[in-house]
Amino acid sequence: MHGMANYSLMANAVRMLAVDSVEKSKSGHPGAPMGMAEMGTVLWRDQMRHNPLNPNWLNRDRFVLSNGHASMLQYALLHLTGYDLGIDDLKNFRQFHSRTPGHPEYGYTKGVETTTGPLGQGITNAVGMALAEKLLAEEFNRDGYPIVDHHTYVFAGDGCLMEGISHEACALAGTWGLGKLIVFYDDNGISIDGEVEGWFNEDVRRRFESYNWHVISPVDGDSVDQLTKAIKKAKVVHNKPTLIICRTIIGKGSPNKAGKEECHGAPLGAAEAELVRKELKWSYAPFEIPAEVYADFDCKATGMRAENNWNQLFMEYQSRHPDLATELLRRYEHELPANWAQIVENGLHLANQKQETIASRKASQNSIEYFAEFLPEFIGGSADLTGSNLTKWSKAISLNEHNHFTGNYISYGVREFGMSAIMSGMYLHGGLRPFGGTFLMFSEYARNALRMASLMKIAPIFVYTHDSIGLGEDGPTHQPVEQLASLRVIPNMDVWRPCDTVETMAAWGSAISNTKTPSSLVFSRQNLKFMPRDHAQLMDIARGGYVLQDGGATPDYAIIATGSEVELATNVADKLRAQGKKIRVISMPSTNVFDRQDAAYRKQVLSGAKKMVAIEAGVADTWYKYVGTDGVIVAMNSFGESAPAGELFAHFGFTVDAILAKLVAE
């Protein structure tokens, strides 16, 4: 601690910045920041190791505001401790293109580690960050050189703990013994509908103890002394994550609204804001902060000192372990190996030479096997479907396999949502490149995590197998129909559905190369026939769609297909050619990537045909933009059935004869 700070004045500065910003914008959530002001003050000023002058310092403690609606708490703390977030930014709270959006957004505000708002996601991202810290420490630290050594702190409220994803993530955090994860639970007993005891009355302490967490409870969330002791206590427990249960009063300081839901998600109103000033004996105008508060809060000098000490240590580490130091910095920057383009091209040629006819999930495993040699940052996993997803490669080591916490493969258990948000947390932390698998059908469970990764423009890789009615006997509960279309419409998400081993290798190459968007890679259960290609076609796969078989400038039909239906499209083409027709076959493994190509290329692939046809064993909706309203779409317009795959494809019209009949009828 630097000198005797006036904590009461500091916490009230946080409260008033929240009250004034929400008041000015006429929208927001003042209650939680007012109730959590002491928690934020103690943590950010005294206990958290961070450098406001370099928010991206590699070994900083991470902070996640899981109850993201309390964003003004984080913005007030960033401002007061010395980050590049001025008082004008706070006055601009919730306004267009401001650096203080309604919920904290990664990339908008320096010092915000992840985008939070949908409750439960933040705490789950934090589990991913803490896992990354533990794994990287295990991999890179050497005696006397704890290069990766920091905590992950979370603020979470009742809503986060109600969300199902918190159960998934916190159970895993306990299983993994993430001792440097410290979660503060803002236990104020109030949610939007009022007092939570009518719908949230579980024993949180016992719940978290059963997950193998260290729980500190009860802590008075207004007591600087109790909060300080609790954090120190949490830091000495190394084998378990810690939950600190802080009793707080929502809207503390508001004479008429404290402790009530009225202050949760609406401005207090001008009259009540004045009463808060009186209650707190705060004699300053809106957005006016006394100099002593700025002086007490300022973390720039302590932050610089902490980073300089670490830089000193890192320089020594660099001279002793030069290769490790270079590798660590490369990975934190999400930099790919120097000859990456060549590695991808060699992989394509390799797959092309082998000419294998295998399921694309198997081709995916072969691609992982190939790329893992060059990417030690790969960390794979599956939500209890490893043997089906084929996400594990020969040199993968399961987490904790040798009773020693290391490894690059994670069994997440049946937790698709948790897995997906933990992967985002690992990616955000830096140093690892996560991918994880489940059945395509169960992308539904993970949907919000996929959306958040896309929103943040980060690049975990989501692997989905069993991609259509082709999985057969498991029936419509497990057969994805609308999932491909729904993934394709998420902004910033690249969806790949390759038709053979070569396209699978290209999809993996593209997903790894792309560090600004997440990718969903979609694979078949059944065998897919190898398609011959020349060198130009090999290179064009990366453009998302290309001409696989040329039918000249004005073919009678141009048939677009993806995945398992590409072979069907070529068989239809053969039949039509035998009738003297000119046919172009277009393979389009990624509509998203294809749509980003220049107009000339797209025109070259799509234009000139008398009739456009699209074939895909999913819903038709996204195909109209390529074939037009007068084109022919062979697709699903219902859920599947339980039967062997061949019978289903015949029943739903995915046969050469059925398609030919449909073309004649048009």
* C-alpha span between 219 and 230 (Å, rounded): 8
The CA distance from 251 to 188, in Å, is: 10
Phi, psi of 509 (to 5 degrees): -60, -45
| H or E element in which residue 495 lies | strand 494-496
DSSP state of 145: B
> Please, which residues bridge with residue 378 across strands?
433
Rounded distance between C-alpha atoms, residue 322 and residue 302, angstroms:
28
Decide if 619 contacts 445 (C-beta within 8 A).
no
Dist CA 333 CA 431 (whole Å): 8
Q: What is the 3-state secondary structure (H, E, C) of 35-51?
A: HCHHHHHHHHHHHCCCC
Residue 536 near residue 599, CB atoms below 8 Å: no
DSSP label of 113: -
**CA 204 to chain centroid:** 27
Q: Annotate 278-344 with DSSP letters as a single string.
A: HHTT--S-TT---HHHHHHH--HHHHHHHHHHHHHHHHHHHHHSHHHHHHHHHHHTTPPPTTHHHHH
Q: What is the DSSP string of 539-598?
A: HHGGGS-EEEE---SS-SEEEEE-TTHHHHHHHHHHHHHHTT--EEEEE-S-HHHHHTS-
CA–CA distance, 137 with 143 (Å, rounded to integer): 11
CA 465, distance to chain mean position in Å, is 19
118: preceding bond cis by omega (within 30 degrees):
no
Residue 416 catalytic? Answer: yes
- Report the alpha-carbon distance of residue 587 to residue 498 in Å, rounded: 9
In the set 307, 416, 503, 567, the catalytic residue is 416
Asked if 64 and 125 touch (Cβ cutoff 8 Å), the reply is yes
Decide if 619 contacts 637 (C-beta within 8 A): yes
Number of DSSP helices (H) and strands (E) in the chain, helices first: 28, 20
Give the end-to-end CA distance of the chain in Å, rounded to a whole number. 79
Active site residues: 416
